Chains A and B, each alone.
Chain A
């Protein structure tokens, strides 16, 4: 009796189950399994190949004592904070301008969004060229007469992250602007009518009424930008290769180098686990905010 029912359940809707097999496998094997594997093996002393030689927190101790790792974290933090602020502010500001019933909206949007269609490698390389001290912006301004003008971020360890920032903003703000604009357009038109009748000036309406109403959009944007920042890799590889020296190293590069070049799996896995942790720190509060309040998830 029990076998019959069990068999029945397995074969019911069998086509769908087979069809969903890729999703199930991917979820279990790659996302869940892979993540667990990485975390578990980060506690081992694996070098070229994985070994079950557990050494507790040794990898993490070495990680946090490693100046290159510390530099990567610091770099990413600097980049991250500015990227977050600038992207959201510029993205929102541009969206507000586009929301003013202007003409040529499609043209403006096409121009602002096309960088998003490009690879980070392309972005990094073209900005590397523009910021080239010999031929790029610095030389042009100098040729105009300002001979002592200095703008050489890519060779200046103190401000190289800002050189990356300029390129990153160029690529991403158009996209954020589109999302913000969609959010703005979702606001009930009657709210605008009400503020006009009440005599509230436009700028005040945006700040006091509209922005609070767009809380969900801002949170989505925050999550998107943050997860993009943590994954920062291609752009750095192309624009600065992590240099000068270690001045623009980022955690993702640390992971790649230790996993594949330095033949130190343990370190690489420990570093990836740290990256995972940082994402969770952002994700879990967001998930709680989004789904925790309601009981359906």
Chain B
């Protein structure tokens, strides 16, 4: 590498080479400063949640919520999981956790299966009116859920599944359809049509092409869809409270009951442990999925 110094060349005077830029310029200080301050705002609650959940009650009564525990205890977590009282029973959040899991798995599978086939049909097998239905679907997704709450109750009652697991699964499938169909439709649009035509020429039909060509190529978007649905369904509260009976309450509903409906002595550490437990699943998914998570919500935001 040639090491050139300005002074060695005749006629070279003045500035040479890279312009010196101070790392600690006013501009940089402001940018990073503001970002760091904002990050404090964002991290604070998580910090408080974790810290509080690891303290004993006496320490909480004395100290300040931002301070780390003097004595770490996992008792609140155990209590939150197994013994907390929801007003109906004192079996902790574990019930709600497993309910949420039982709601989550079929809902995710069904909603993604239906929506992906929808998207596929809309792109490659359009029929008269298919696009109109899709537009109505998208517009429907803006309608506040409250408007359709009761009609769905009636629908589920007629079908005999009101208050059961499958009723809730159906609800999640229905309301997941607009965004997921949009997601899959946009993705399938980007797959070259030649692939599809070649497969038809080879004699493959609707389902054949779907399972043997489209699905294998769509792994990334399935992952995005799964992330979107797991987060949305796990965090749901409204449908969980309207369409289930108490023994089927998802974790979010149970959490609310534990914290807000308990009279008497409030065990803040148990509350925070319970809150953390409920937030754990989507948080873990978030931290693992990274860029895919952003892609998923961006897709949800870019409607049409």
B-contacting residues of A (Cβ < 8 Å)? Answer: 12-13, 15-17, 19-20, 22-24, 26-27, 29-35, 37-38, 50, 94, 97-98, 100, 102, 106, 108-123, 125-130, 132, 135-136, 139-140, 143, 170, 174-175, 178-179, 182, 220, 223-224, 227, 230-231, 233-234, 237-238, 241, 251-252, 255-256, 259-260, 265, 268-269, 271-273, 275-276, 279, 283, 287, 290, 297
Contacts and interface: CB of A to CB of B under 8 A. Distances in A.
Q: Helix, strand, loop or mixed for chain A's interface?
A: helix
A122 B34 contact: no
Given A129-B52, A283-B139, A231 B133 contact: no
Contacts of A143: 64
Interface stretch (B69-77, B119-127, B213-221): B119-127
Contact of A121 (B136, B177, B256, B272): B256
Nearest to A109: B294
B259 interface: yes
Contacts of A252: 144, 146
Given A97-B31, A140-B66, A252-B146, A27 B290 contact: no
18 contacts: A15-B206, A15-B207, A16-B127, A16-B206, A23-B134, A31-B136, A31-B137, A97-B31, A121-B235, A121-B278, A122-B275, A122-B279, A123-B45, A126-B49, A178-B297, A220-B301, A234-B238, A297-B135
B134 A119 contact: no
Given A119-B237, A224-B301, A30 B130 contact: no
Contact residues of B: prevailing secondary structure:
helix
B143 A27 contact: no
Interface in B18-35: 31-32, 34-35
A94 B32 CA distance: 11
B304 interface: yes
Contact of B122 (A20, A139, A227): A20
Contacts of A227: 142, 144
A118 B46 CA distance: 11
B77 to A, nearest CB: 15
A175 to B, nearest CB: 6
B274 to A, nearest CB: 8
A127 B44 CA distance: 10
B191 interface: no
Interface residues of B, number: 89
Interface string B244-278: 00000000100110011000000010011001001
B60 A126 contact: no
Contacts of A38: 147-148, 150-151
B86 interface: no
B35 A102 contact: yes
B286 A31 contact: no
Contacts of A33: 151
A290 B135 CA distance: 13
A178 B294 contact: yes
A121 B252 contact: yes
B64 A139 contact: yes
Of the listed residues A20, A132, A260, the one surrounded by the most CB atoms of chain B closer than 10 A to its CB is A20
7 closest Cβ pairs, A-B complex: A31-B140, A119-B235, A16-B125, A15-B206, A34-B151, A117-B286, A34-B148
B118 A97 contact: no
B268 A16 contact: no
Contact of B177 (A22, A98, A100): A22
B211 interface: no
Contacts of B256: 121, 125, 237-238
Contact of B174 (A30, A127, A139, A287): A30
Contacts of A265: 150
Contacts of B201: none
Given A15-B206, A121-B278, A27 B283 contact: no
B115 to A, nearest CB: 8
Contacts of A34: 147-148, 151-152, 155
B172 to A, nearest CB: 12
A170 B42 contact: yes
Interface in B37-68: 38-39, 41-46, 48-49, 52, 60-61, 64-66
